[in-house]
């Protein structure tokens, strides 16, 4: 075990990167959100049923993530940090870009979950 991670079967030359690649729950959550944003972009570029199915799957996964990570009282303070980081990231993207819009929309969705009394 390295920092709580089971690294059995991972070559020793790679192990130092495993323990630091996901050093915190917040970093893992941020990486997951970036993956959701990327999948939303992929879905937007597809056509037909595949696009619809992927969009719905990403939306469902996002809803699950928001409830699990941000929405279970007591709401974690780090969830607000994650919302802020996502909004700051979005502001670095070109105005009018779909990625910026998706990132700001996601930040808004997460903020609503975190800040409501539920």
C-alpha–C-alpha distance, residues 75 and 1, integer Å: 29
| CA 48 – CA 46 distance, rounded (Å) | 7
pTM flag (> 0.75): no
Contacts of 58 (CB under 8 A, 6+ apart): 36, 39, 40, 43
Task: Encode the chain (118 residues) as per-residue pLDDT tens digits.
Answer: 444 555 566 666 665 555 555 557 777 788 888 888 899 889 989 999 999 999 999 999 988 888 888 777 776 777 888 889 889 989 998 999 998 999 999 999 888 888 876 5
Domain boundaries, the chain: 24-115
């Amino acid at each position: 075990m390295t920092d709580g991670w089971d690294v059995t079967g991972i070559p020793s030359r790679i192990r130092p990167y495993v323990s630091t690649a996901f050093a915190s729950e917040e970093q893992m959550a941020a990486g997951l959100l970036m993956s959701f944003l990327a999948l939303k972009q992929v879905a937007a570029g597809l056509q037909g049923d595949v696009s619809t199915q992927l969009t719905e799957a990403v939306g469902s996964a996002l809803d699950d993530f928001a409830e699990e990570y941000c929405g279970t009282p007591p709401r974690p303070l780090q969830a607000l940090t994650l919302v802020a980081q996502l909004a700051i990231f979005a502001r670095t993207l070109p105005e009018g870009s779909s990625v910026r819009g998706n990132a700001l929309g996601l930040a808004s969705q997460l903020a609503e979950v975190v800040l409501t009394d539920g």
